[in-house]
Amino acid sequence: MIKLPEYQAKDFGKVAVLMGGQSAEREISLESGKAVLTALSDFGVDVTGIDYDKDTFKQLMNDDFDRVFIALHGRGGEDGTIQGALDSIGMPYTGSGVLGSSLAMDKILSKAVWRDSGIPTPAAVELNEETHWDDVVDQIGLPIMVKPVNEGSSIGASKVTEADKLSSAWVQANQFDDRVMAETWIEGGEYTVPILNDVVLPMIKLETAREFYDYQAKYIDDNTQYICPCGLDEHTERSLGELSNKASQILGVTGWSRVDLMLDESGNAWLIEVNTVPGMTSHSLVPMAAKQAGISFQELVIQILATSMVNTSVTKELEN
């Protein structure tokens, strides 16, 4: 079982939930932020929701907030930008700091760090208007996943099965990010590993009738299946959890995260990316895993908020 530290509403002082912003994931961020806001308010926390804009920092300082719950997804919220700005005014916040956030957000850079550390991740190359598409196929083979380097929620991502389709896939992804990457397609099962303060929560297997777990499958389709327990044997799930936790730590990710990975047809694990501000909507995965572990949504939100404090910890106890 998982033993959680206990907190009272007064422990947190005045809290701002930052949501929305201007990234491509704005609408998802607003959903996450509203859910977090409700949970904290119901717990009795003095909490205010703020749709992040240029005046937000003036409001944070003028209204004497004590800490921030970051519910901003995508660029600006997960790439170290907001973290650095909050550091500059001495404002505590949830989740990873500048380094962990920026490394995890940059899929090309995080993959390079993983490869240097022996973490298995699919081969990838960065694309631009001068790329020779046949060279990309020679390097990483077909099929290929093309996606923005610095976006989440599978925005702008597509599967390419023919070399002459790479150019149009690059154009599509380039609408969302100046940097675009091609990644070796892994055929197999897709899993996600939620982590709370270095404790791995139950893994979830993702199944969709679509070509892959894209934006539609994540947020719109009602037919997407979330399987938890994930169906893997205990040893395999534990090993994958340890690998995912290590992969997060190598990038400097702290507090909470969600690691996405693939298991190929031979049972080999391939880590795809780390999300440092995972979704907290009705379709979101971290709350699903927490529920399987016996942690309510409100308890989860409180524990995430506590990552903005010093010396917080979550421990696992052996069941009698």
Catalytic residue, from 26, 273, 284, 308: name it.
273
Q: Is 260 a catalytic residue?
A: yes
CA distance 112 to 96: 19
Q: Is 25 a catalytic residue?
A: yes
User: Residue 320's CB: how many other CB atoms inside 10 A?
Assistant: 4
Q: Which residues pair with 82 in a beta bridge?
A: none
Catalytic residue, from 25, 78, 79, 190: name it.
25
User: Residue 215's CB: how many other CB atoms inside 10 A?
Assistant: 18
Catalytic residue, from 153, 245, 257, 308: name it.
153
Q: Is 74 a catalytic residue?
A: no
Angle at which helix 285-292 crosses helix 297-305, to 10 degrees, equals 110
Q: Which two tokens stand for residue 192?
A: 């996600």
Q: Is 296 a catalytic residue?
A: no
Q: Is 162 a catalytic residue?
A: no
Catalytic residue, from 79, 177, 237, 260: name it.
260
Q: Is 77 a catalytic residue?
A: no
Q: Is 279 a catalytic residue?
A: yes
Q: Which two tokens stand for residue 83?
A: 């973290």
Catalytic residue, from 190, 258, 284, 308: name it.
258
Which of 69, 86, 70 has its CA nearest to residue 78?
70
Catalytic residue, from 279, 284, 299, 308: name it.
279
Catalytic residue, from 219, 241, 244, 257: name it.
219
Q: Is 215 a catalytic residue?
A: no
Sign of torsion, CA 243 191 268 252? negative
Angle subtended at Cα 209 by Cα 204 and Cα 212, rounded to the nearest 5 degrees: 65
Angle subtended at Cα 130 by Cα 127 and Cα 136, rounded to the nearest 5 degrees: 50
Which residues participate in catalysis according to the annotation? 25, 153, 219, 258, 260, 273, 275, 279
